[in-house]
Structure 1
């Protein structure tokens, strides 16, 4: 095959695939339209069947009337022969002959109509059954199609939700880390503040002369006067005789 022939085959294959894809996409709509077309044809068939049945009934009544007339003419002809009126009997015989010929044609046509009526009735009944079956199948296919679409939507939504949840979890972890960092900074700040508060308190106590180890110049001078120059730090003082001392026995 030449290159142009292969290219033409590829183009035809692409067209066929596109056509099949379009048909598949509109399958349910096509089925509904085909069912409507079949129902329209069925209604026409019923109308035709009704016409055939009406014609058969009319023809059947005419055949019955012809038979009754033939029976009556036969009785009249016999009565004419009994009365010696052979001429009347012959006239009745001619009329009966023509009546019987018409009746034979009508009976033949009636049989044909009855056969066509029975055949069409079976076709109508079969078509009704097939349409009902197809209608149920189409409804089942529609339900399955809706279910598949719902499942597909749920699957897509689930995938999207999983993706969004994954992103949200990453954001949550970042927030947690940021909060932990901030909490650590706050704790460190609180500790620093506590240390600073404690230093200020110690400073205030020293300035008030409470709990400190600092000695003023007056204290040092008093120690010199007491002869306790070696004592550098405040503490329990030994009694000095003669200075604020009241010995007890």
Structure 2
């Protein structure tokens, strides 16, 4: 049971690590989405504000209407009194009192709406200021991330370029080695030819005095002179 509990704890830790890694890798996107959602809330608050302001305008118009009604009925009550219509004047006075009560209630509603409007405006102005700050921070974060990404790309390119240069150098060294191997083989072939080929045999014959050469020419000349001397003796050329 304890082992099973430890396994569950380990799995929860892995899930948390994976989740944290996802959050870290997508921090800018998440931050931007949060700003978008906050802007949507501010836009909704502005719509609510316009609705409250519209109600305040309606309340103000109703107050103006009630004030006109009060003035009208007060004028009628005065006229009734002037015509000795005390009972009628009393009825009109009651009407004026009802209108004044409605006016007082409508005034309270307007004042409350005005208070709500003032608070909403302050909240919206504050929220918009904070959003502007966050948008600047997001822009800076994106710029910084772009710089880091460009730096990593350049570093990777430089590393790849360095590796390619090393590979090119190795290729050149292999070419040089192949050329050197070819030259060595040619030199070895010449050495073998000198040792075992026809040229080697000719050199051996020359060393032994066999075959054509300067000594051979002298031998041929001496032999011809001897033959000439023998021919002269055979022809009778004797001394006196």
Scaled by the length of structure 2, what TM-score is found? 0.72
Residues 1:27 and 2:27 are matched in the alignment: yes
Q: Mean Cα displacement is larger for which, 170-179 or 62-71?
A: 170-179
Gaps of 5+ in 2: 194-198, 203-213, 230-240
Q: Mean Cα displacement is larger for which, 146-155 or 179-188?
A: 179-188
Deviation of 1:187 after TM superposition, in Å, equals 8.6
Equivalence for 1:63: 63
Output aligned runs, 1:108-187, within 5 Å: 108-180=108-180, 182=182
> Could you say if the C-alpha distance between residues 188 and 88 of structure 1 is closer, same or farther in structure 2, counting changes exceeding 3 Å?
same
> Could you say if the C-alpha distance between residues 217 and 182 of structure 1 is closer, same or farther in structure 2, counting changes exceeding 3 Å?
closer
CA distance in 1, matches of 2:129, 2:40: 15
Deviation of 1:60 after TM superposition, in Å, equals 0.5
CA distance in 2, matches of 1:12, 1:80: 87
Equivalence for 1:38: 38
CA distance in 2, matches of 1:155, 1:217: 85
CA distance in 1, matches of 2:118, 2:102: 24
Output aligned runs, 1:42-53, within 5 Å: 42-53=42-53
Equivalence for 1:245: none
CA distance in 1, matches of 2:51, 2:221: 144
SS in structure 2 of the partner of residue 84 of structure 1: coil
Equivalence for 2:218: 215
SS in structure 2 of the partner of residue 129 of structure 1: helix
Count of residue correspondences: 216
Deviation of 1:32 after TM superposition, in Å, equals 2.7
CA distance in 2, matches of 1:176, 1:221: 60
Deviation of 1:125 after TM superposition, in Å, equals 2.0
Deviation of 1:224 after TM superposition, in Å, equals 10
- 1:208-240 CA deviation, whole Å, 9 max, x = no partner? xxxx673364566559989xxxxxxxxxxxxxx
CA distance in 1, matches of 2:135, 2:224: 122
Could you say which structure has the higher helix fraction?
Answer: 2
CA distance in 2, matches of 1:49, 1:126: 14
Scaled by the length of structure 1, what TM-score is found? 0.70
CA distance in 2, matches of 1:174, 1:224: 68
Gaps of 5+ in 1: 200-211, 227-249
Deviation of 1:92 after TM superposition, in Å, equals 1.9
